[in-house]
Chains A and B, each alone.
Chain A
């Protein structure tokens, strides 16, 4: 029997059910959470990202859910990622965990854009992009605070690196 493909937003809703928001909140060790401040006097991209470190158990648990979320509907092939707001500057955001590929926006700290900001405000948001689509879905911790956003994207070239 032919089944109807899951909507990308529905896949995101299912994925978020299994994402431990507390782990995303603490994905970096305490001394690295505000890592840009460690090299505030450097304008080198490499010097900045050399400071990135993760709590491996938290990272791996989240990565596993992202990889499995990408497989919820075998007729679709989205890639997933988790965004956070920078704790030292919430007007900025950064992808923290990527599933099978990186969002096209890349890995560096950048300004929030409207659709992502809306999701950080609690509103699951769809973004139609040329031939592809992205959905953003809020991720909450065990205190029900929004600590990140799940991105699912399909038919948009991921970042090549």
Chain B
């Protein structure tokens, strides 16, 4: 009989040695770990995750099965159907195997998603351990209290039973996220990076694209994230259906047909795309507009009155249409992503470095202000992504730009900006990348919690779907540009499969959302939550705001990239044990219970 172990969700295990891959972990052997995960604590309306690691016997992964029974408590039960099992897929990184992709496990028969088939495809050399990720959803109507049940692992004809003790708190994670964890990407990378879509030239007309794209949005939604899909390339061009078809020019320009655009985006904006998810049919909170330097207005007219005529008329038409459709719960962003490095335009609309490019803010605000300043109907806002010039711009443009997405390092240099932007009614996110797969999982929980501690609204991963052609071996940029993987080529799924890091993001978001809700209800809430986070992560006072670099007296176009490596940065101590997040969760649940 193989030996199986239930372990917590903040570490990963080597499939060859059974050792914990997080070098900083406090407990690093499976027998010790297995004894620690007997009791789980969770709020309601939340996922609680753990892992099963199986030491393989002579039969390898053949015939291994997992079976959960309903968890029973004095007030009721949590059904066995609330358990979900995922096989862990191993990637080769730095001469080690790390699990990251998670394949929904089909335990029946020998199909493409049985553990044995997945392991055979994965082809880990000298594999001695297999691991399964388990999500258990605790519904919002579950009664607080203790529950017990068992999870059985069958291998080699023998069965091991693991007792699960679950403590459900009275508190519940809100359906709507209070913090935005924004998974950015660029249209239409999903098609470019998914075999079935790439090879289908009618994907936008025959509905297959919409179905696949919705699976990405749904997966993001279910993990308390927002997929944020910029519709246009740097040239301004868009794939079909990412903007409505226009007709006419100049004063005759108008939307010819909304139908394809509405079919594409309507389900996200009325929430129906999320039917059947645990969070329910919540409209997406933010969405990029297709407006850019060369759409809808003809850039050949830039600087002439006809450019304004075309731009302003179509924006007005958008606002009217969105309002009539009742899309009132989403903030629609005018965002100008163009960068002069691509030689398509002479201005940086994104991350302004040369201060004279700030005129773009003034020009496009002026073109759009009739809609941006409307107090009724759909909410249209001006967004900027700021880095070099943030310190020069936050005060100057606080009344025009209402969504600020700021380089996380540079944001930390300007604590005074928070109050200025807050007073002007702005939303503030920071941006960075997803963590590399070989980085401790603890680093992944940092960004949502940093948002809570600093009193801002969210965090952006600048890219989330660039998994790379050989992701199943080693993902591009070691996973820092993807939190999903495509399910079609290997597993026959028309949509994404999640990653362990995406699961970790959700765990952090559940904590962050509970914290944010509690902060709103408590006069000293942010201070107390900030202290809890600081204590868990051993942060020194002032760590969130590490001071200003000495080159701020120079204009940003005189800064050099190499200066940033030595400039102040709010970061996590790399020697910290991943269990620090478990400590924080425990502290929070005690506060909330």
Contact = CB atoms under 8 A, between A and B. Distances in A.
B343 A50 contact: no
A67 B235 contact: no
Interface in B531-579: 557, 560-562
Contact of B560 (A47, A49, A59, A107): A47
A95 interface: yes
A127 B353 CA distance: 38
B235 A50 contact: no
B396 interface: no
A102 B235 contact: yes
Contacts of A107: 341-343
B354 interface: yes
Given A50-B353, A52-B341, A102-B343, A44 B233 contact: no
B31 interface: no
Contacts of A50: 341, 353, 561
A62 B580 CA distance: 57
A102 B342 contact: yes
A130 B561 CA distance: 41
B560 A63 contact: no
Interface in B188-236: 192, 233-235
Given A63-B299, A102-B343, A39 B237 contact: no
Interface string B336-351: 0000111111110000
Contacts of A63: 299-300, 345-346
A160 to B, nearest CB: 7
A46 B299 CA distance: 26
B192 A160 contact: yes
A63 B344 CA distance: 8
A1 B254 CA distance: 30
Nearest to A94: B343
A103 to B, nearest CB: 10
A5 to B, nearest CB: 22
B303 interface: yes
B233 A160 contact: yes
Given A102-B235, A161-B234, A53 B341 contact: no
Given A39-B560, A160-B192, A161-B233, A98 B302 contact: no
A49 B354 CA distance: 13
A102 B341 contact: no
A19 interface: no
Contacts of B354: 53
A54 B346 contact: yes
A46 B561 contact: yes
Interface in A125-148: none
A64 B346 contact: no
Given A60-B302, A63-B299, A67-B300, A98 B561 contact: no
A104 to B, nearest CB: 13
Contact of A67 (B299, B303, B560, B561): B299
A49 B341 CA distance: 5
Nearest to B341: A49
A39 B235 CA distance: 26
Interface string A16-43: 0000000000000000000000010010
A63 B353 CA distance: 22
A155 B560 CA distance: 40
Nearest to B340: A52
Nearest to B351: A50
A47 B341 CA distance: 10
Contacts of B302: 60, 64
A45 to B, nearest CB: 9
A46 B237 CA distance: 23
Which of A49, A50, A60, A100 is most buried by chain B, counting CB atoms within 10 A of its CB?
A50
Interface in B293-343: 294, 298-300, 302-303, 340-343
Contacts of A52: 340-341, 343
A161 B232 CA distance: 9
A96 interface: yes
A116 interface: no
Q: Which of B294, B300, B303, B557 has the most CB of A within 10 A?
A: B300
A42 B346 CA distance: 24
Interface string B226-258: 000000011101000000000000000000000
B233, B237, B341, B345: which has the most chain A beta carbons within 10 Å?
Answer: B341
Contacts of B300: 63-64, 67-68
Given A60-B302, A64-B300, A161-B233, A98 B560 contact: no
Contacts of B303: 60
B235 A101 contact: yes
Interface in A82-138: 95-98, 100-102, 107
Given A44-B561, A47-B561, A102 B192 contact: no
B290 to A, nearest CB: 16
B557 A53 contact: yes
A98 B235 contact: yes
Contacts of A47: 560-562
A101 B354 CA distance: 24
A110 to B, nearest CB: 13
A46 B562 CA distance: 11
Nearest to A29: B354
B340 A53 contact: yes
A56 interface: yes
Contacts of A56: 346-347
B346 A161 contact: no
Contacts of A53: 340, 354, 557
A111 to B, nearest CB: 18
Contacts of A60: 302-303, 346
A107 B347 CA distance: 16
Interface of A: 39, 42, 44, 46-47, 49-50, 52-56, 59-60, 63-64, 67-68, 81, 95-98, 100-102, 107, 158, 160-161
Given A50-B353, A95-B343, 13 more contacts: A39-B560, A44-B561, A47-B561, A56-B346, A59-B345, A60-B303, A60-B346, A63-B345, A68-B300, A100-B237, A100-B294, A107-B343, A161-B235
Interface pairs A-B: 3 shortest CB-CB: A59-B346, A49-B341, A54-B346
24 contacts: A39-B560, A39-B561, A42-B562, A46-B561, A47-B561, A47-B562, A50-B341, A50-B353, A50-B561, A52-B340, A52-B341, A54-B340, A54-B346, A59-B346, A60-B303, A63-B299, A63-B300, A64-B302, A68-B300, A81-B343, A97-B343, A98-B342, A98-B344, A161-B234
